[in-house]
Structure 1
Amino acid sequence: MNNTLSKWGIEQAGHQDGESILTLLKERASYLKSKGSEQWSFLLTGNEDDELLELITKGLFYKMTIKDDHDLVATFMLSSVQEDWDVHLWGESIEVDTVYLHKLAVALKYKGNGIGDILLNWIIQHAIELGNRRIRLDCVAGSMKLRRLYEENGFKLIEVVHDHCLYELELR
């Protein structure tokens, strides 16, 4: 599979993308659960659907598609404002030059094609273009594959809080 960005399109998702993004996130949550992980299992209850749809409508989610057929390949959320979860893990911050990355998910049929690396490279460049100085994210401490992905893309482990690894990447 060609992994150059010319094959893919990355753009802000809109309201019309809500259901397909929810489906992708739930597909990944179900897959993780089948592998023994509780990461994102809360998504399977449907209790978060309205909140996620609102975040998508606000323009905080992005989507990666194949340019030729618009098939949804991946999604992620970027926010320059701390969500409740960020405050819970990081503490309240007044920094205005930090973006928080959440819900990075690749559709199962594209798993193993280097999409995570492509997305992180694009996210880093996009955050720089937006004038941010750092990107923060978290992941379940036991998710070694995900931790390796972030570390291989330059993110530094800051600390482990409530069984979640807090990662940060300084952009300049």
Structure 2
Amino acid sequence: MLEDAQIRPAVKEDGPKVIEMLKKVAQWMREQEINQWQYLLNGGDDKEILEAIKQKETFIVLNDEELIATFTLSTIQSDWDRHIFGGETEGDSVYLHRLAVLPVHIGKGLGKELLNWIEKNFSTDKAYLKLDCVADNSKLNQFYLENGFHYLGETDHHSKYEKKLFS
């Protein structure tokens, strides 16, 4: 699916589209009774999303100019990352946030392709890719395990995962 898509860093003008897409995904998850990202529906993280775009940490995936996916990669721990993973002394990780695929494309392998793209194309000297998700979201937890991530445990009802990067 990525062979027909363009992946690029989001720019300021993409901000409203990224927020709208994330809210669409959050609404779809609510309708599917998936416990993930409900806070986004009320504007939770809007400022953080726009700041990540400003910092050039957010990427968008376009297919014929349509935004079909997005993700954020940060080499600096956020307050949330510190809460979930604890303070990082070595600074050896990249943190993946808000990996989202439009519902019409879910189940077609795009998420797996994006994880592979990140590993092959995101230039970093960091050793690990880390992420978290709601612990009772069994499908998403299984997805990360199937894609080579190692379960590190749970903090505050969130599963923690990491994957060694080969830079």
Q: TM-score, normalising length from structure 1?
A: 0.90
Residue number among 72, 81, 103 corresponding to 1:77 in the alignment: 72
- Structure 2 CA distance for aligned equivalents of residues 78 and 95 of structure 1: 18
Could you give the per-residue CA deviations for residues 107-136 of structure 1, whole angstroms, max 9, x where no partner exists? Answer: 122222111011000111234x32221100
Quote how far apart the aligned CAs of 1:9 are. 1.2
Q: Which residue of 2 aligns with 1:18?
A: 15
SS at structure 2 position matched to 1:43: helix
Q: Which residue of 1 aligns with 2:61?
A: 64
Q: Which residue of 2 aligns with 1:6?
A: 3
Q: Give yes or no for the alignment of 1:152 onto 2:149.
A: no
Superposition map of 1:48-59 within 5 A? 48-59=45-56
Letter in 1 for 2:42: T
CA RMSD of aligned residues (A): 1.4
Q: Which residue of 2 aligns with 1:111?
A: 106
SS at structure 2 position matched to 1:136: strand
- Structure 1 CA distance for aligned equivalents of residues 46 and 165 of structure 2: 32
Quote how far apart the aligned CAs of 1:47 are. 4.1
Q: Which residue of 2 aligns with 1:131?
A: 125
- Structure 2 CA distance for aligned equivalents of residues 79 and 95 of structure 1: 15
- Structure 2 CA distance for aligned equivalents of residues 163 and 7 of structure 1: 37
Could you give the per-residue CA deviations for residues 65-114 of structure 1, whole angstroms, max 9, x where no partner exists? Answer: 11xx2111100110000011100011111323310001000012222211
Aligned sequence identity (%): 39
Farther off after superposition, 152-161 or 36-45: 36-45
Do the aligned residues in 1 keep the contact of 2:35 with 2:134 (CA within 8 Å)? no
- Structure 2 CA distance for aligned equivalents of residues 115 and 12 of structure 1: 18
Farther off after superposition, 44-53 or 14-23: 44-53
- Structure 2 CA distance for aligned equivalents of residues 47 and 163 of structure 1: 18
Extract unaligned runs of 5+ from structure 2. none
Could you give the per-residue CA deviations for residues 113-166 of structure 1, whole angstroms, max 9, x where no partner exists? Answer: 111011000111234x32221100001111111112111111000111111110
SS at structure 2 position matched to 1:113: coil
Do the aligned residues in 1 keep the contact of 2:9 with 2:60 (CA within 8 Å)? yes
